[in-house]
Structure 1
């Protein structure tokens, strides 16, 4: 499975919107959306936060 779709799948499993995730991570909605679509890459620190949020490893998501 394409890794960018992994983020979408995990987010939907938790019944969260992109806006919910952006608010939790304290980043802009457009930035998170771009990460999900594979247009932008998160910093290592942000990737760690996203992985923790979904209870996954960075490798599993990215």
Structure 2
């Protein structure tokens, strides 16, 4: 599933995918290829924790805002049982 939020964060900065990859390496020491980043945007690949956090920091958002689909996650409430 395409990660439209991630794509829009990048486009709002007028960055190419190559620029995002360069920023990740410069600011956070994360070294990935442009091809891999493109697959992350397209939802073909899911990044590891370190890469996901670096991408979120780069765009000043929380990782779950980019990488978690609200339709697939459940929030806990006071009535939830822990098994």
Tell me the TM-score normalized by structure 2: 0.69
Query: How many residues are treated as equivalent by the alignment?
Result: 61
Bigger helix fraction? 1
What's the secondary structure of 1:56's corresponding residue?
A: coil
Structure 2 unaligned runs (5+)?
25-30, 68-83
In structure 1, what is the equivalent of residue 17 of structure 2? 18
Which 10-residue stretch deviates more, 17-26 or 49-58? Answer: 17-26
Structure 1 runs of 4+ with >2 Å offset: none
**Is 1:57 the counterpart of 2:62 in the alignment?**
yes
In structure 2, what is the equivalent of residue 5 of structure 1? 4
Task: Give, in whole Å, the separation in 1 of the partners of 2:55 and 2:23.
Answer: 10
**Is 1:30 the counterpart of 2:17 in the alignment?**
no
Tell me the TM-score normalized by structure 1: 0.90
Query: Is the 2:2–2:42 contact (alpha carbons within 8 Å) kept by the matching residues of 1?
Result: no
Decide which structure has the larger Cα Rg and report it.
2
> 35, 39, 42: which one pairs with 2:47?
42
RMSD, matched Cα = 1.3
